[in-house]
């Protein structure tokens, strides 16, 4: 016998368990595209508490449509190690290029990240940041449908030692930080340079080069790095996105250093209670 109320209780109780565990983080990642999911995976693998906040209902960013709705993507040989880490099948095309099925790739990124312990909160937009003592210290969230409907509803806050803007071309978190706090970024001009037109070779190099911290506590990866630093877009070649995600995970881990993570602190508290 199926009880409708029991179904409701099961969903709500399990969701809020998950939601509560995402309120104090080592890394809050905004955007569940390729760079965000890759970064989340490597951070979770290292034992850090990480959650991804995605404004859309689906995750995977720009991968699903491949190039112009032809659902294949291209990666270069520098990114093959990451494909292998995620168990993503690929085929050699020649000349240092490889192809992968876009749906398979997006699905594998999502599966391996969540399997590693990454919490994903989808249909949830980051509309502001927490700002404490001259650094970004978390994010402010609200359900995307609430914002779409224009409802007057107050948001909630999530604390995080580091925040990663992986929102792609829009670089939403950096934009809101600059607009509200009038801060100077770690860029050539101190501001947001904006994304340039398509040039895959230059764009792939730039997105990797410019991955990193742009303000204390705030990092950029993927197309957000290109948009903030004035890099070129590169279209449906995704090696740079994957490498950028892995690179920023390493940077965040280094910044966290020997400090206790939120996850470690929780484990210690549980052990003490016993």
Per residue in 8-61, pLDDT tens?
A: 999 999 999 999 999 999 999 999 999 999 999 999 999 999 999 999 999 999
Do the Cβ atoms of 142 and 155 come closer than 8 Å?
yes
Per residue in 193-240, pLDDT tens?
A: 999 999 999 999 999 999 999 999 999 999 999 999 999 999 999 999
The answer, as to whether pTM is greater than 0.75, is yes
Section 107-127 average pLDDT: 98
Question: For residue 262, which of 12, 84, 20 has the smallest C-alpha distance?
Answer: 20
pLDDT confidence of 274, banded at 50, 70, 90?
very low
Section 231-255 average pLDDT: 97
Q: How far apart are CA 130 and CA 160, in angstroms?
A: 9
Q: Where are the domains of the chain?
A: 24-67+102-268
pLDDT at 258: 55
- Count Cβ atoms within 10 A of the Cβ of residue 65 and give its class: 0-12 exposed, 13-18 middle, 19 or more buried: middle
- Six token digits for residue 195: 């994304």
Q: How far apart are CA 240 and CA 125, in angstroms?
A: 25
What's the chain's average pLDDT?
94
Q: How far apart are the first and last CA of the chain?
A: 38
- Six token digits for residue 99: 């192809």
Residue 139 pLDDT greater than 90, yes or no: yes
| Residue 87 Cα to chain centre, angstroms | 20
Do the Cβ atoms of 98 and 74 come closer than 8 Å?
yes
At the topology level, CATH places domain 24-67+102-268 in FAD/NAD(P)-binding domain (3.50.50)
């Amino acid at each position: 016998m199926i009880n409708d109320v029991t179904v409701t209780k099961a969903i709500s109780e399990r969701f809020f368990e998950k939601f509560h565990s995402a309120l104090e983080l080592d890394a809050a990642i905004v955007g569940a595209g390729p760079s965000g999911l890759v970064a989340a995976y490597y951070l979770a693998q290292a034992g850090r508490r990480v959650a991804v906040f995605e404004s859309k209902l689906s995750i995977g960013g720009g991968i699903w449509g491949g190039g112009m709705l032809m659902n294949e993507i291209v990666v270069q040989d520098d990114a093959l190690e990451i494909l292998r880490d995620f168990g993503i099948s690929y085929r050699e095309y020649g000349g240092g290029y490889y192809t992968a099925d876009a749906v398979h790739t997006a699905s594998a990124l999502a599966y391996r990240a969540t399997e590693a312990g990454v919490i994903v909160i989808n249909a949830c937009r980051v509309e502001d940041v927490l700002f404490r003592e001259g650094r970004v210290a978390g994010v402010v969230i609200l359900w995307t449908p609430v914002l779409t409907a224009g409802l007057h509803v107050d948001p909630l806050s999530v604390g995080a030692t580091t925040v990663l803007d992986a929102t792609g071309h829009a670089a939403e978190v950096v934009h809101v930080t600059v607009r509200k706090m009038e801060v100077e970024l770690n860029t050539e001009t101190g501001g947001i340079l904006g994304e340039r037109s398509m040039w895959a070779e230059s764009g792939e190099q730039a997105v990797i080069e410019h991955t990193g911290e742009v303000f204390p506590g705030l990092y950029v990866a993927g197309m957000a790095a290109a948009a903030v630093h004035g890099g070129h877009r590169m279209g449906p070649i995704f090696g740079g996105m994957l490498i950028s995600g892995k690179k920023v995970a390493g940077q965040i881990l280094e910044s966290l250093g020997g400090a206790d993570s939120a996850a470690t602190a929780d484990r210690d508290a549980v052990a003490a209670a016993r």
